[in-house]
Amino acid sequence: MSKTNQDKLSQELVDLLQGEKIVSLVTMDAETNKPHLSIVSWLVAHPGGEVIKFALGHKGTSVSNIQQNPEITLGVTGAGSCFSIKGQATVSDIIEKTMKYRVVTVQVESVEDIIFYGGKVTVEPDYVKTYNEDLAKKLDAEVYEMLNEK
C-alpha cells in the first residue's frame, strides 16, 4: 500500500482484519474530551472495505465515548505496515448472550499508511487468552456470529 490516503480498506487489510488481531481504538473521552486509547480484538472488516464491526463489553468507557462523539481511529499493525483507519462509529443496543455486548459499526472514511519512512513490519503482534479455553471458544463463536451479520 502506498503512503497515500484511501477512503476504504484494501483487500489485504480486509483479509487481515478477520478477528483475533490486536487493534488500537482511539475515542474522545466523553468527560475530558481528551483522547482515550483501548485495545480491541473482536473485530471484522466486511467485504468491500467500507465497514468494520467490533464488539465491546456493554459498559466499556469506549461505548460512552463513541455515543458522545462518533469519530474514532483504529490503529492496525499488519500487512507489512501500520495503518490509521478513521471513521464514524455507531453503537448497537445491548446484546445479551453469555456476556452483555455492544456491536460498534464503523463507516470507514480514510485509511493511511503511517509507518515511518523506510519501515516495514516483519512480525505481527500476537497474544494468548489467559482465561478458560472453553469459555474463550464460546465467547468467540458468539461474537463473530454477531460481527459477521450484514
- pLDDT tens-digit map of 22-62: 999 999 999 999 999 999 999 999 999 999 999 999 999 99
Q: What's residue 66's pLDDT? A: 98
Question: CA-CA distances (angstroms) from residue 13 to 32, 76, 78, 139?
Answer: 32, 9, 8, 24
Q: Determine the pLDDT at residue 1.
A: 42
CB count within 10 Å of CB 87 equals: 20
26 Cβ contact list (under 8 Å, min separation 6): 35, 36, 37, 72, 73, 74, 75
Element (H, E) at 144: helix 133-147
Q: What is the pTM of this model?
A: 0.93
Q: Which three cell numbers stand for residue 45?
A: 472488516
Residues of the chain with pLDDT under 50: 1-2
Q: What domains can be seen in the chain, in order of their start residue?
A: 11-147 (2.30.110.10)
> What confidence score (pLDDT) does residue 5 get?
80
